Chains A and B, each alone.
Chain A
Amino acid sequence: MERYDIAIIGTGPAGVSAALTAKNRNKSILLLGSRQMSEKVAKAHEIRNYPGLPFVKGEDLAAAFRDQLDRMEIPVMESRIGAVYAMGDYFALQAGEEMLEAKTVILATGVVMAKTLPGEEELLGRGVSYCATCDAPLYRGRRAAVIGYSPREEAEAAFLAGVCSKVTYFPMYAENTDLPETVEVIREKPEGILKAETGLRVKTAAGEYPADGVFVLREAVAPGQLVPGLETDGPHVKVNRRMETNLPGVFACGDLVGTPYQYVKAAGEGNIAAISAAAYIDKKAKE
């Protein structure tokens, strides 16, 4: 398997800028994201402070990013990265069933403002799980509750129904659910997860629901969850001026590292992150 010099996660201004700079430094790049670039950029009405592109429409800026990547011969791989593991001298990126490898990683995913539920983080790994297909066998014959933030998560609840004695599903969306009959659907908003005598309880305004395992399934993955061991500060990743995180070889840039959430600031940080990653690789090669 090819081990890339730099894996860049995200195709907004930070990720694209990092990719262009890394290419200039003759590094092999794995750019992970979307050919549509960034939804946030594409939806921007008009950007007035991006130097060289006066009054550019968001969709035109996204198209310009795509064109520049094409001309620099940088392909975009449209894979969703589930986790990044620090293996010592390289990083393993889980893309579905596939594992990709890179010497360094630049995180440019944008910021996710998902608030966790009270009790969720404290009980993570102690009954709370983010992956039904991963931890389901530990709850064989026991009770599971699923808090699903999109209809896509219903598949995981259906999977649990085949393993657990009882599954309670809390849809966090308005659409009708399509689940096996054995799954109990509760249309109440969870307010927190509590520890009970045995197992846990999901608390809503109307009552409490016991479960041995509570699966909280969101579309967006928090950065500390994406990269185990990564130091974060709320929704942001902690970095220094060189865009270095606490994990050697992992860099972060753009909205992910904090305000101001400006396109031009993100692009500048992407540039720094790529230069830092290239310097890290060159230093490692000399060792």
Chain B
Amino acid sequence: MVKKVNTQEFQNEAMKAPVAVADFSATWCGPCRMLAPVLEEISEKYEGKVAFYAVDVDESPELAMQYRVNSVPCLVLLKNGEFVDQSIGFRPAPQLTAWIDGNL
């Protein structure tokens, strides 16, 4: 499951998860809408291992600034609250899982 969070929830949950993937996206962005269902499906495979969050860059501009999100969608991978890597734009599921696995 991909949980939609605000800034506060992001800090309380994503920052404290052992491994978290945050999907920075926006309602006006076409590729974001296409990525969301792909990520939802991927998140099922990682249940209990990786926590998935969705961040709306318009609602949480400070988080977008903090992680230097200059283009959406942008996936940010965190380990214990530390930034590890980012993935920009839409990517097919096998490439996303390879990206996550490579960072575990």
A interface residues, Cβ below 8 angstroms from B:
82-83, 85-88, 92, 94, 124-127, 129, 134-135, 137-138, 213, 228-229, 247
Report whether B74 and A125 are in contact in the complex, using a CB–CB cutoff of 8 Å.
yes
Question: Separation in Å of the B47 CB from the closest CB of chain A?
Answer: 18
Report whether A87 and B57 are in contact in the complex, using a CB–CB cutoff of 8 Å.
no
Question: Separation in Å of the B71 CB from the closest CB of chain A?
Answer: 4
5 interchain pairs (CB within 8 A)?
Answer: A94-B30, A138-B64, A213-B70, A228-B89, A228-B90
Q: Which residues of A contact B57 (CB under 8 A)?
A: 137-138
Report whether A85 and B31 are in contact in the complex, using a CB–CB cutoff of 8 Å.
yes
Question: Separation in Å of the B8 CB from the closest CB of chain A?
Answer: 22
Given A125-B70, A125-B88: A92 touches B34 (CB 8 Å cut-off): yes
Q: Which residues of B contact A85 (CB under 8 A)?
A: 31, 34, 90
Q: Interface digits, B22-43 against A, CB 8 Å rule (1 contact, 0 not)?
A: 0000101111001001100100
**B104 on interface, CB distance cutoff 8 Å:** no
Q: Which residues of B contact A137 (CB under 8 A)?
A: 26, 28, 57-58
Q: Which residue of B lies closest to A227 (CB)?
A: B92
**B93 on interface, CB distance cutoff 8 Å:** yes
Q: Which residues of B contact A134 (CB under 8 A)?
A: 28-31, 72
Docked Cα-Cα span, A86 to B41, in Å, equals 13
Docked Cα-Cα span, A127 to B92, in Å, equals 23
Report whether A125 and B89 are in contact in the complex, using a CB–CB cutoff of 8 Å.
yes
Docked Cα-Cα span, A86 to B71, in Å, equals 20
Docked Cα-Cα span, A135 to B74, in Å, equals 12
Report whether B88 and A88 are in contact in the complex, using a CB–CB cutoff of 8 Å.
no
Q: Which residues of A contact B89 (CB under 8 A)?
A: 125, 228
Docked Cα-Cα span, A88 to B34, in Å, equals 11
Docked Cα-Cα span, A86 to B97, in Å, equals 14
**B69 on interface, CB distance cutoff 8 Å:** yes
Q: Which residue of B lies closest to A140 (CB)?
A: B61
Question: Separation in Å of the A90 CB from the closest CB of chain B?
Answer: 11
**B91 on interface, CB distance cutoff 8 Å:** yes
Interface positions, chain B 46-104, Cβ under 8 Å from A, are 57-58, 64, 68-72, 74, 88-93, 95
Report whether B70 and A138 are in contact in the complex, using a CB–CB cutoff of 8 Å.
yes
Which 10 residue pairs are nearest across A and B when measured between Cβ atoms? A125-B88, A86-B92, A125-B71, A229-B92, A85-B34, A228-B90, A229-B91, A229-B95, A127-B70, A135-B71
List 15 additional A-B contacts (Cβ < 8 Å) besides A138-B57, A138-B70: A82-B30, A83-B30, A87-B37, A88-B93, A92-B34, A94-B30, A125-B89, A126-B71, A134-B72, A137-B26, A137-B58, A138-B64, A138-B71, A138-B72, A229-B90
Q: Which residues of B contact A129 (CB under 8 A)?
A: 70-71
Q: Which residue of B lies closest to A88 (CB)?
A: B93
Question: Separation in Å of the A36 CB from the closest CB of chain B?
Answer: 28
